[in-house]
Structure 1
């Protein structure tokens, strides 16, 4: 019981992403939400590193915070503000997702006024591209492969029927 409570409280202090998914090859507004889980200390900086294939662009930072984009738009750093008490602050960015669908992880670093740093993984799901951005599905090849598969199955049943032995009662 105590272990469950400890694990639940430690899980509450982390960086999350909203919305938790993006379309591949599109730019979208994403908020990295972070609580201050170390009262009486305050969060004074948040750094997010993008995984390969992702690029950040500026969005309006929360009141009192400044946003710096570094490393050609693959790192975002917010400074100048404070998260105190048990408050949660959302740090928005425009994120251009890579083209590969699946789960990706952003490295988040939360810095406190006592110089302690806590690192988190903030996960996001990339959905496959749609419309004209979607990769070709090669429908004609899939149809041909399906037809070949049906012919092979039919030929197998025919071969089994021809090879089948007559029952002993018919001999």
Structure 2
């Protein structure tokens, strides 16, 4: 009886794990954006990961919209074999100051179109942009995207996730920005190391002087019995 109960519990646990894994896989299978070096006020490489969620069609086109409230003064698109890339520049609703430059127009859309094959069924590919400068005082940036399949279907990844709510069915790619780390800790560590080294040096000097004094004292001649001092 205990053995049968253990087997049943193991089976239930395995089934639950499969359900969780399946849910995580389906939730993460969408167009997403990441960056190895994004930080406020700097330049960054943005990487858009595009999976083909189909068993019999391929991805033939990707359109990425760039923010107009925080436009980039520079946008460079990755050139990929088998893909044609186009950048669209438009007038901004209002002038925006980016660093030392005031922008009245900016690149607001980048499109990659497959010239042969595209992204096969159940596979993925990555598309990169070099952008800058990233805005300061902003926690994240949204990049709505459109994915076109070889059968003509267009999936719009543009839903905005709300706090406390489940992830929407077609969430827009969102890049989280991390503030730059100041070298305060490194400076403090260096100062502390210098202080410790200084005190160790002083301590060593004191020990050396004490040793010298003790040595000189031990070398004084010892009086012999009967000898006149």
TM-score normalised per structure 1:
0.66
Which of the pair has the greater relative contact order for Cα pairs under 8 Å at 6+ separation? 1
Partner of 2:127: 91
User: CA–CA distance in 2 between the matches of 1:129 and 1:94?
Assistant: 18
Verify the 8 A CA contact 1:21 1:124 in the aligned structure 2.
no
Shift of 1:104: 2.1
Shift of 1:59: 3.1
Shift of 1:3: 6.9
Verify the 8 A CA contact 1:99 1:129 in the aligned structure 2.
no
1:107 corresponds to 2:144: yes
Verify the 8 A CA contact 1:102 1:126 in the aligned structure 2.
yes
Candidates 60, 64, 78, aligned match of 2:82: 64
Candidates 101, 109, 128, aligned match of 1:75: 109
1:48 corresponds to 2:82: no
SS of equivalent residue, structure 1 residue 10:
helix
Candidates 126, 138, 151, aligned match of 2:177: 126
In 2 relative to 1, CA 125–100 (structure 1 residues): closer, same or farther, beyond 3 Å?
same
Which protein has the larger Cα radius of gyration, Structure 1 or Structure 2?
Answer: 2
User: CA–CA distance in 2 between the matches of 1:62 and 1:7?
Assistant: 32
Partner of 1:38: 54
User: CA–CA distance in 1 between the matches of 2:20 and 2:178?
Assistant: 33
Gaps (5+ residues) in structure 1?
132-171
Gaps (5+ residues) in structure 2?
1-15, 90-105, 158-171, 183-229
In 2 relative to 1, CA 69–130 (structure 1 residues): closer, same or farther, beyond 3 Å?
farther
Shift of 1:21: 6.6
Partner of 1:17: 33
User: CA–CA distance in 2 between the matches of 1:62 and 1:13?
Assistant: 22
Alignment RMSD: 2.4
Bigger fraction of residues in strand: 1
In 2 relative to 1, CA 20–50 (structure 1 residues): closer, same or farther, beyond 3 Å?
farther
SS of equivalent residue, structure 2 residue 173:
strand
User: CA–CA distance in 2 between the matches of 1:7 and 1:64?
Assistant: 33
TM-score normalised per structure 2:
0.50
